[in-house]
C-alpha cells in the first residue's frame, strides 16, 4: 500500500510529495521545490532537505524524482535530489518541445533532446517503485509535457486542475492548448469517483489551510471552470479570455531556465559563476511569440 506525505511551500503555493512503498523501503519525490529569491539570487534548499531527512528517518531509499511538467512558477530541486541520492529524474516526452521553445527565448547553449532527464515518459508507461506500479497518463493542455501519475487510488495531476474554487490551469504558454486541457480533464473525470487528485498548487485565502487533494467526484461537481456539465466550447472560450488577462508568474524567468535543465544550474561562466538571463526592455510574452 502506498504511503504519501505532503510538504507545502507557501511562497509559490506548491505541494511536493514523498510517496513510498513501506515494505520495500523505496520512495519517489514528485515535483520537488527549490526555493529561490530573485532579489538576492540565492536558492534555499531547506524544504528539500526536510523531505530528504524525512525519507532518511523512515529508512526510505529515494530512487525516482517524478516531474509532472516543466514548472513556470517555481524552481525544481530534481537535480539536487539526483546528486544526493542517485535518484533518476523522469518527465514527459513533451519536455523536448518545451526545451526548444525556451532555449530560443533565452538563447541558451543547451541540448534540446531531453537528455538532461534520465527517462522521458509517455502514455501507458509504468514506473516500478518497489511493489507499487506508477502508471503514466499524458494530460497535456497546460503544457505539452504535462503528465499525471496514477498509483492505487491516487493521481498526481500537476497543474491540470486546481481546487474547485480556483478552477483550472492557464494554457497560454508554448505548447498550451485549452481544448487539449479540456480533453485531459475529461479523462481524469473518467477515473473512479473516489480517486484522490493530488494538486501541485493551492493558493488559500489568509487563515485557510491549503487544499492538498480532492476527489474526482468533488471536482466534477464543484470546479468553477470545468464541472461534469461544462461544454468544451464554453470552457475553451472562458480559458482563452481569462488567459489573455493574466500576468506572468513572478518566477517564470529563473524557473524555466533551470527547470528545462532538470533543475541543474545553467552552465557556469568563465568566472565559475552560473548566471540567469533577463531580457532587457522586451517582454517574455513577445519573445515566446517569436516577435523579434
pLDDT in tens, 57-112: 999 999 999 999 999 999 999 999 999 999 999 999 999 999 999 999 999 999 99
What's the per-residue H, E or C state across the chain?
CCEEEEEEECCCCEEEEEEEECCCCEEEEECCEEEECCCCCCEECHHHHHHHHHHHHCCCEEEEEECCCCCCCCEECHHHHHHHHCCEEEEECCHHHHHHHHHHHHCCCCCCCCCCCCEEECCCCEEEECCEEEEEEECCCCCCCCEEEEECCEEECCCCECCCCCCECCCCCCCCCHHHHHHHHHHHCCCCCCCEEECCECCCCCCCCCCCEEEHHHHHHHCCCCCCCCCHHHHHHHHHHHHCCCCCCCCHHHHHHHHCCCCCCCCCCCCCCCCCCCCCCCCHHHHHHCCC
Strands 26-30 and 61-66: parallel
pLDDT at residue 289 above 80?
no
More confident of the two residues 279 and 164: 164
Tens digit of each residue's pLDDT (9 = 90 or more) over 9-61: 999 999 999 999 999 999 999 999 999 999 999 999 999 999 999 999 999 99
Grid cell listed for 279: 531580457
Tens digit of each residue's pLDDT (9 = 90 or more) over 198-230: 999 999 988 999 999 999 999 999 999 999 999
pLDDT of residue 281: 87
Tens digit of each residue's pLDDT (9 = 90 or more) over 139-154: 999 999 999 999 999 9
Cβ neighbors of 141 (< 8 A, separation 6 or more) are: 160, 169, 171, 176, 177, 178, 179, 180, 181, 182, 183, 184, 185
pLDDT of residue 36: 96
Give the pTM.
0.96
> What confidence tier does 282 reach under pLDDT thresholds 50, 70, 90?
confident
Mean pLDDT of 240-253: 94
**Spatial distance between the Cα atoms of 63 and 266, rounded to a whole number of angstroms:** 24
pLDDT at residue 292 above 50?
no
Mean pLDDT of 234-244: 97
Amino acid at each position: 500500500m502506498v504511503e504519501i506525505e505532503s510538504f507545502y511551500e507557501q511562497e509559490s503555493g506548491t505541494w511536493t510529495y514523498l510517496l513510498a512503498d513501506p515494505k520495500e523501503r523505496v520512495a519517489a519525490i514528485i515535483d520537488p521545490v527549490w526555493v529561490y529569491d530573485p532579489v538576492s539570487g540565492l536558492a534555499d534548499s531547506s524544504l528539500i532537505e526536510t523531505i530528504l531527512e524525512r525519507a532518511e528517518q523512515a529508512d526510505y531509499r529515494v530512487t525516482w524524482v517524478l516531474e509532472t511538467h516543466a514548472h513556470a512558477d517555481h524552481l525544481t530541486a530534481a537535480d539536487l535530489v539526483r546528486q544526493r541520492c542517485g535518484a533518476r529524474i523522469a518527465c514527459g516526452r513533451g519536455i523536448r518541445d518545451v526545451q526548444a521553445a525556451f532555449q530560443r527565448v533565452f538563447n541558451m547553449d543547451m541540448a534540446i533532446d531531453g537528455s538532461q532527464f534520465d527517462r522521458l515518459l509517455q502514455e501507458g508507461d509504468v514506473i516500478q517503485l518497489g511493489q507499487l506500479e506508477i502508471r503514466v497518463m499524458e494530460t497535456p493542455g497546460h503544457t505539452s509535457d504535462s503528465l499525471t501519475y496514477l498509483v492505487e487510488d491516487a493521481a498526481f495531476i500537476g497543474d491540470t486542475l486546481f481546487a474547485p474554487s480556483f478552477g483550472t490551469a492557464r494554457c497560454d504558454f508554448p505548447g498550451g492548448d485549452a481544448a487539449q486541457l479540456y480533453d485531459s480533464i475529461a479523462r481524469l473525470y473518467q477515473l473512479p469517483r473516489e480517486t484522490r487528485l493530488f494538486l501541485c498548487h493551492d493558493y488559500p485565502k489568509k487563515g485557510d489551510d491549503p487544499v492538498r487533494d480532492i476527489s474526482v467526484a468533488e471536482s466534477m461537481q464543484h470546479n468553477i471552470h470545468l464541472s461534469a456539465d461544462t461544454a468544451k466550447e464554453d470552457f475553451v472560450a472562458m480559458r482563452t479570455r481569462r488567459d489573455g488577462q493574466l500576468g506572468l508568474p513572478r518566477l517564470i524567468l529563473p524557473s524555466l531556465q533551470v527547470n528545462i535543465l532538470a533543475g541543474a544550474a545553467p552552465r557556469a561562466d568563465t568566472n565559475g559563476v552560473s548566471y540567469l538571463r533577463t531580457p532587457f526592455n522586451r517582454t517574455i510574452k513577445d519573445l515566446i511569440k517569436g516577435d523579434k
